A and B are shown apart, each in its own frame.
Chain A
Amino acid sequence: PRGRRRVGPPLFRANLSRSPSPSLSPSLSLGVSVWVGDRLFPGWRACRGERRSSQREAMNLSSSKSAPEPDPVPFVRPGYNDRVSVNQMREVIKEVLHDKLAGKEYEPSEASNQTREIVDEIRSRLQALPMARYKYMVQAVIGEQRGGGFRMGNRCFWDADTDNFATEKIVTDSLFCVAVAWAVYTY
Chain B
Amino acid sequence: MDDLGSSEELAFTPEQVESMLYQVITQVIGQSVYDDAKVAQWVDEINDRCMEMLVELTKPFKYTVTTFIMQRKGAGLHSSHSCFWDMATDNIAQANWPNDKHRDQHNNRMYVVVTVFAAAMTK
Contacts and interface: CB of A to CB of B under 8 A. Distances in A.
Residue among B58, B78, B85, B115 with max Cβ neighbours from chain A (10 Å): B78
Contacts of B40: 151, 153
B78 A111 contact: yes
Contacts of A119: 80-82
Interface string A143-187: 111111111111111110001010000000000000010101011
Interface string B72-98: 111111111111111000100000000
Interface of B: 1-2, 4-5, 10, 34, 36, 39-40, 42-44, 47-48, 50-51, 54-55, 58, 60, 62-86, 90, 115, 117, 119-123
A41 B60 CA distance: 10
11 contacts: A10-B4, A36-B55, A120-B82, A135-B119, A137-B85, A140-B81, A148-B70, A149-B70, A152-B69, A155-B65, A186-B86
Interface string A4-45: 000001111111000000000000000000001000110000
Contacts of A126: 84
Contacts of A146: 73-75
**Interface SS of chain A:** mixed
Given A137-B64, A157-B51, A159-B62, A186 B77 contact: no
Secondary structure of the B contact surface, majority rule? mixed
Residue in A13, A36, A142, A165 with the greatest tally of chain B CB atoms within 10 Å:
A13
A168 to B, nearest CB: 15
Contact of B68 (A115, A120, A150): A150
For the complex of A and B, 7 pairs with smallest distance between CB atoms: A115-B80, A148-B73, A119-B82, A12-B60, A146-B75, A152-B68, A148-B71
A141 B69 CA distance: 12
A179 to B, nearest CB: 10
B76 A143 contact: yes
A163 B60 CA distance: 16
Nearest to A155: B47
A167 B2 CA distance: 42
